[in-house]
Amino acid sequence: DYLEMQHIYTEKGAENCRKNQYKSLIEMLQSNYFVSSNLNNERLIRQNGSFILAGKYNITINPSDIGKSVISAAISSTRSEFNNEYFIIPSDKKSKILSELDFCNINEGSLFP
């Protein structure tokens, strides 16, 4: 079966997924993930590329033929997934903070190569 061939599930996991009407697969597709790159090109190396993969999908299961189920992009925002917290940084600390970030290679040159 496709889930097993793509190494998404083990044989037992795929069987459990089918028994539960693909609930675990749907939850996997609708979750958010933090992705760290394998750094296989210069831009990703310079940016130390990591990003958030937002799982915002509508899934319509066709119970008579799972292969005809439909997955489409949802119209939504990831803003609700995060806390709205703000930090006010005093202007006299800007220089020190920029210096510390530069020490970690977080600077204009690495963010915008």
pLDDT at residue 95 greater than cutoff 90: yes
Round to whole Å and give the CA distance between 8 and 22.
12
- Report the 10 Å Cβ neighbour count for 22: 19
Handedness of CA 59, 64, 66, 68 (dihedral sign): negative
pLDDT digits (tens, 9 = 90+) for 22-79: 888 788 888 888 888 777 877 777 767 677 777 778 888 888 887 788 888 877 776 7
Residues 6+ apart with CB under 8 A from 7: none
Q: How confident is the model at residue 98 (pLDDT cuts 50, 70, 90)?
A: very high
**Domain that includes residue 20, residue range:** 2-111
Total domain count, the chain: 1
What pTM, to 2 d.p., does this model score? Answer: 0.45
